[in-house]
Amino acid sequence: MPENNFPKLHNATWPGIVGKGSDSEPIIPFDTLLEKTAAAEVDGVKFDGVDIGLFDEHIGEYLNSADGGKRLADKLAGYNLEAGSLVANVWAGSAMGSKEARDTFVEQVRKACEFGKQLRDAGVRQGGVIRIDSASSPEAWSADPTGNTKQIAETFRRAADVAADFGERLAAEGEICWGGMHSWKAMIDTLEATDRPNVGFQADMSHTFLYLLGYNAPEDRILPADFQWNDRATLDEAFKKMTAALRPWTIDFHVAQNDGTVHGTGSHDKTGRHCLATDPNGKLDIVHHAGFWLRDEKGEPTRAFRHICWDGCMFPNEVMYKQQTWNDILAALVKVRNAHGWVA
């Protein structure tokens, strides 16, 4: 396949940390995830890169040293992988709450932007965003929806101003466990209140699927309460409504599968359950439903992002250590690109 095929295909490294740790299964080392990613191959196609969570447990040795970006770039190049989107450790603070928490949130975005620049300067990062969320719960947000949405937007604007100085864009990931982002309508309210050209939406197919079902926001449910999974026409209409509203904001995209349930492990709150690409209980037709995000209302590829990324948080370690898991994931991404990609 020619090198100028788009979007590029990325794997995520943060599933080695999210939902893992002392209260769950052991963290999977960063190097192990790179090895599995680099080893995956489907009909001669390999992953182009990785999206990276900026967490000490994985890359602290790089984050906390002056030449860390260059050293990480050398490591990635050794695996023939590029870097894409970066996850800022905004949970060290919060987008709402105390001034100290909000200041910490903005500082974490600054650190992510600085590290992203190091990777760009080292030649391994050609695109991608800085991923954020509100780092607050729907329960805390619901105490004052209007006031808290305003506060989240103010924090996002401060972070956006920092990101703009680095030429970065911020993508807020819609996920049912984050206040002010826990439903499709709340997400749009937050984005509209933020009103910054370099702030957009990160759509994860698993998390946004739960928007349709109204988890944590029954009033914003799109699918009817008596919906039956074999009613694919109604499901597609729901996708059309949701993606028509959120697609114009979407600047980063995660391919994923979901079985219509929520899941949480370790200290991670319950959110849309990520399922294996081959899970027979998966309710999404991955290739078909990716098209609602990757194509515009006229059916043309949006070309809104340089790469797409697989996200499979909270998979059991036994599954993540199997090379076949990553081959299957890559195969799903290849099918999505074949159906909705383009050649530059």
How does pLDDT run across 41-54, given as a tens digit for each residue? 999 999 999 999 99
Angstrom CA distances, 148 to 51, 106, 212, 250, stand at 30, 17, 23, 23
Q: Which of 169, 150, 338, 339 is nearest to 249 (CA)?
A: 169
Q: What is the pLDDT of residue 274?
A: 80
Give how far the C-alpha of residue 127 lies from the chain's centroid of Cα atoms, to the nearest Å: 15
List, for residues 188-220, the tens digit of each pLDDT value. Answer: 999 999 999 999 999 999 999 999 999 999 999
Average pLDDT of 55-81?
Answer: 96
Q: What is the pLDDT of residue 1?
A: 44
- Mapped onto helix, strand or coil, the DSSP state of residue 262 is strand
Domains of the chain: 8-343 (3.20.20.150)
Tokens 């009613």 correspond to 231
What's 57's DSSP letter? H
Under the banding of pLDDT at 50, 70 and 90, the label for residue 314 is: confident
Q: Quick one: what percent of the chain has pLDDT higher than 70?
A: 96
What's the pTM value of the predicted model, to 2 decimals? 0.96
List, for residues 270-291, the tens digit of each pLDDT value. Answer: 666 788 999 999 999 999 999 9
Reading the block at residue 75, the tokens are 């490591």
